[in-house]
A and B are shown apart, each in its own frame.
Chain A
């Protein structure tokens, strides 16, 4: 996103990556009250707010880990926007409850909104990938788990009692199948732009 110079608040992302409880505590102290206030005002409670905050932090962590997310804007608006959208999605899902949204006029920095959009798209991708992976055949699932956790293909081949060439070919076929499954999914268009 634009220039790549990290904002001072990038330390919150670092804290997620290193599981630094002191700074993680600071995240709750500094940013949670506003989110809790928003969720409570919009048909939620503290328990739900705690869940939403935790889920959002995990998503940010995953994105930081896989995509090497560098935050170049303040954490506050980005984090609030993410939690807010997550909560609104949740409300929409719940058909039996009547929804009243007390929308506040919050001026959100454009850059933060851009970051939040990226994170939400990343989350949508993860959700779709998890669903698709779940539908993959058992043999492929096991082979992929082995190749990605063991790393050394020679070792995997040895473990599975197959040749190196066979395992490598199989791996590429299984990922190819996942690729095809995602492209055939009706939700593909929602995540296509992320690529």
Chain B
């Protein structure tokens, strides 16, 4: 049986469209072959994930909105400096109060401005070729994905020695450097990608913006975020962060 036929059987089972004979073939396969059984469980898991995640967007964003509102008012009430007191004050005092409020507002805003950790999501490195045996690729992948960025830096640099323009290696090297707070080196790597035309061009722009955010260089961060165009994968995140800056 080809993989195509196998997947069609899986799909038929999930959408309840199998004939008795097909049903029998599939249960036989699942019973006899643990690999296929596991594959079927994973296929079903994906089907359930897609069904709920591709359909929930509106409902979920409504809930997020409610929670944000409730959370905001809960945390505001709790906060001691927002307690209300009734004091009779002359009208000029409103002007003073307003300026104090602005100063306080600016203070709280800068104090709780956006931070790197709120925005960063480290993508997974997947470079090992099926069937191919390259220990270095494997080592780079394992160390990067287990957040061992020092080793990942070492292995990726090694890989780049033989393939110095490989944009994928460069991109992940940039992240490994940034995660170790080697900001300048990270910038050099990201800049190289930003100047290029690989598929990592805009992703590198986004990560370089985060690299700047981590160092609290808000101006440079803003500048980079503005350079991310609408068609880029990170556009929405970039806009979200821009609003906070």
The interface of chain A, by Cβ under 8 A from chain B, is 16, 19, 21, 24-25, 28-29, 32-33, 36, 45-47, 50-51, 53-54, 57-58, 61-62, 65-67, 90, 93-96, 125-126, 129-131, 133-135, 144-145, 148-149, 168-169, 171-173, 175-176, 178-179, 182-187, 192, 194-195
A74 to chain B: closest CB distance in Å? 21
Cβ of A96: which chain B residues have Cβ within 8 Å of it?
Answer: 181, 214
With the chains together, A61 CA to B38 CA distance in Å?
Answer: 27
Q: Which candidate, B20-28, B91-99, B118-126, B217-225, is the interface stretch facing chain A?
A: B118-126
Could you write out 5 A-B pairs with CB less than 8 Å apart? A51-B118, A95-B180, A96-B214, A173-B4, A175-B47
Cβ of A135: which chain B residues have Cβ within 8 Å of it?
Answer: 126
Given contacts A126-B53, A186-B145, 20 further A-B contacts (CB under 8 A): A19-B62, A19-B63, A24-B66, A24-B70, A54-B64, A54-B71, A58-B64, A61-B63, A130-B53, A168-B8, A173-B7, A175-B46, A176-B10, A176-B43, A179-B46, A183-B42, A186-B124, A186-B141, A195-B41, A195-B42
The interface of chain B, by Cβ under 8 A from chain A, is 3-4, 6-8, 10-11, 38-39, 41-43, 45-56, 59-60, 62-64, 66-72, 74-75, 78-79, 112, 117-118, 123-124, 126, 130, 141-142, 145, 147, 179-181, 214, 233
Cβ of B214: which chain A residues have Cβ within 8 Å of it?
Answer: 96
Cβ of B141: which chain A residues have Cβ within 8 Å of it?
Answer: 186
Cβ of A47: which chain B residues have Cβ within 8 Å of it?
Answer: 75, 112
B60 x A195 contact (CB < 8 A)? no
Q: Which of B6, B11, B49, B117 contacts A129 (CB 8 A)?
A: B49
B124 x A187 contact (CB < 8 A)? yes
A50 x B75 contact (CB < 8 A)? yes
A-B residue pair count with CB separations less than 8 angstroms: 137
Residue of B nearest to A63 (CB): B52
B56 x A62 contact (CB < 8 A)? yes
Cβ of B124: which chain A residues have Cβ within 8 Å of it?
Answer: 131, 185-187
Cβ of A182: which chain B residues have Cβ within 8 Å of it?
Answer: 42, 46
With the chains together, A185 CA to B141 CA distance in Å?
Answer: 10
A187 x B52 contact (CB < 8 A)? no
B75 to chain A: closest CB distance in Å? 5
B126 x A66 contact (CB < 8 A)? no
Cβ of B60: which chain A residues have Cβ within 8 Å of it?
Answer: 58, 61-62
B112 x A66 contact (CB < 8 A)? no
A46 x B50 contact (CB < 8 A)? no
B64 x A171 contact (CB < 8 A)? no
B52 x A28 contact (CB < 8 A)? no
With the chains together, A127 CA to B233 CA distance in Å?
Answer: 17
